[in-house]
C-alpha cells in the first residue's frame, strides 16, 4: 500500500482570495481588482515551485467508465498529503480530453474542496478557444486559482494564430493562464514574449524538451514569467532543464509514488548526483522504456501503478488502453525496486 510521504511542499496559509478562485469583484475596466489576485497566484505558484514538484492527479473512473467521485477525492487527498507545490486537476494525466463539462466541474470542485487553500489549484482547459472558455467559466465557478491552457485540437497553426487563441481565452476569464506547448503547439521565443505581454498570461509549461529553443525563450521572457518542465517523466530531463533556467517540473510519479518523487527532488536540489543517478538508472529510465511501448502509456502506466498501490483510480478511458498482464508484472517489479531505493514498500 502507498504510504504518505510528506514532501518538501509548503503549508501555504489559507487567506482571502487564495485557494478559492479569483475574486469576482472588478474595477471600472472589469479586471482591475483581478490584478492583485493574479499577483498572489503567481507568488504562491513560484513559492510552491521552489520547494516541491507540481502534482497532476489522475481522474478516477469506475469499471463501467463512469466518474468515481469518491475514489478521486481520496486520490487527491493522498496527493496533497505528500506535499506538492501546486495541484493541476483535469489536465493531461487527469484525462481532461475524456471529460464532459459536468464531470469536469465535479473534478475541479473536488480538487478545490480538498486543497482548501493549502496550495494553488490550476485546472486544465483546452480545445478551441470557445470551448476552452466554457471550461474556464466552470473552473472559475468551482474556485480554481488558474488555468493550464492545453494544446488546441488537431490542426497545426501559425504563430499569430497560437497567440490569438490564448488572447481570446485570456480576454474571457478572470483566471490567470499558463500556456502549454506540446504536440502541434510549439512557440518561438518571440511568440512567448508576445504571450507574456497578454494580460493574465503568467507562464509556460514546456513539453517539447527542445532545450536550445527553451533557453532562448527563457532569455526573451520577462523575469517574472513562470516556466516549468512538463516533459513526460520530467525527472529524466530535470538536470538539463535546470541548466537553462527551468528547475521546476511536474511529476507523474508523484501520482503513484510520492516517496520516489520527493526523494528524487531532495537529492536533485541537494546536488546529490549519486542518488539522482541511481534513481534514474534503476527506476526512471526503465519506467520510460516501459512507457514508450505504446501510445498513451504516459497516462495508462501511471494509473496502473497507482492501482498496484491500492489507489482507487480505476481504468483509463478509451481511446487509451490499460497495460497487458505481462506489462503489469514488469511494472510491479519496477515499482517495488524504486520504492526499495527510497526505503518504502509497495
Q: Where are the alpha helices (DSSP H) in 4-100?
A: 32-51, 69-81
**Residue in 205, 241, 249, 297 annotated catalytic:** 205
d(CA 194, CA 239): 28
d(CA 41, CA 142): 16
104 is catalytic: no
Instruction: Dig out the grid coordinates for 14 from the structure.
Output: 489559507
Decide: 109 and 72 in contact? Cβ < 8 Å.
no
Decide: 323 and 297 in contact? Cβ < 8 Å.
yes
205 is catalytic: yes
**Residue in 72, 104, 180, 297 annotated catalytic:** 180
Nearest to 333 by CA among 298, 279, 287, 299: 287
Place of cell 478516477: 60
Instruction: Dig out the grid coordinates for 9 from the structure.
Output: 511542499
Nearest to 229 by CA among 128, 217, 220: 217
d(CA 206, CA 195): 14
Place of cell 509514488: 257
Which active-site residues does the annotation give? 180, 205
Amino acid at each position: 500500500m502507498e504510504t504518505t510521504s510528506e514532501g518538501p511542499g509548503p503549508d501555504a496559509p489559507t487567506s482571502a482570495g487564495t485557494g478559492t478562485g479569483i475574486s469576482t469583484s472588478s474595477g471600472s475596466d472589469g479586471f482591475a481588482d483581478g490584478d492583485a489576485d493574479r499577483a498572489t497566484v503567481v507568488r504562491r505558484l513560484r513559492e510552491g515551485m521552489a520547494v516541491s514538484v507540481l502534482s497532476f492527479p489522475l481522474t478516477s473512473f469506475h469499471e463501467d467508465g463512469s466518474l468515481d467521485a469518491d475514489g478521486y477525492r481520496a486520490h487527491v487527498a493522498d496527493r496533497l498529503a505528500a506535499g506538492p507545490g501546486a495541484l493541476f486537476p483535469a489536465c493531461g494525466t487527469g484525462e481532461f480530453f475524456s471529460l464532459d463539462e459536468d464531470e469536469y466541474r465535479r473534478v475541479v470542485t473536488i480538487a478545490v474542496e480538498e486543497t482548501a487553500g493549502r496550495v494553488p489549484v490550476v485546472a486544465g482547459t483546452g480545445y478551441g478557444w470557445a470551448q476552452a472558455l466554457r471550461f474556464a467559466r466552470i473552473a472559475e465557478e468551482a474556485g480554481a486559482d488558474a488555468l493550464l491552457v492545453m494544446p488546441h485540437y488537431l490542426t497545426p497553426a501559425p504563430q499569430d494564430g497560437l497567440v490569438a487563441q490564448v488572447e481570446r481565452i485570456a480576454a474571457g476569464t478572470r483566471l490567470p493562464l499558463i500556456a502549454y506547448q506540446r504536440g502541434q503547439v510549439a512557440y518561438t521565443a518571440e511568440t512567448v514574449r508576445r504571450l507574456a505581454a497578454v494580460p493574465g498570461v503568467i507562464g509556460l509549461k514546456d513539453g517539447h524538451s527542445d532545450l536550445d529553443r527553451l533557453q532562448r525563450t527563457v532569455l526573451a521572457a520577462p523575469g517574472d514569467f513562470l516556466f516549468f518542465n512538463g516533459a513526460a517523466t520530467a525527472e529524466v530531463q530535470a538536470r538539463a532543464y535546470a541548466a537553462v533556467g527551468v528547475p521546476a517540473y511536474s511529476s507523474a510519479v508523484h501520482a503513484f509514488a510520492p516517496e520516489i518523487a520527493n526523494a528524487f527532488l531532495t537529492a536533485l536540489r541537494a546536488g546529490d548526483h549519486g542518488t539522482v543517478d541511481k534513481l534514474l538508472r534503476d527506476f526512471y529510465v526503465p519506467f520510460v522504456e516501459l512507457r514508450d511501448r505504446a501510445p498513451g502509456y504516459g497516462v495508462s502506466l501511471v494509473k496502473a501503478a497507482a492501482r498496484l498501490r491500492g489507489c482507487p483510480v480505476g481504468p483509463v478511458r478509451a481511446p487509451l488502453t490499460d497495460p497487458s498482464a505481462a506489462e503489469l508484472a514488469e511494472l510491479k517489479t519496477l515499482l517495488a525496486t524504486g520504492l526499495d531505493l527510497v526505503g518504502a514498500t509497495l
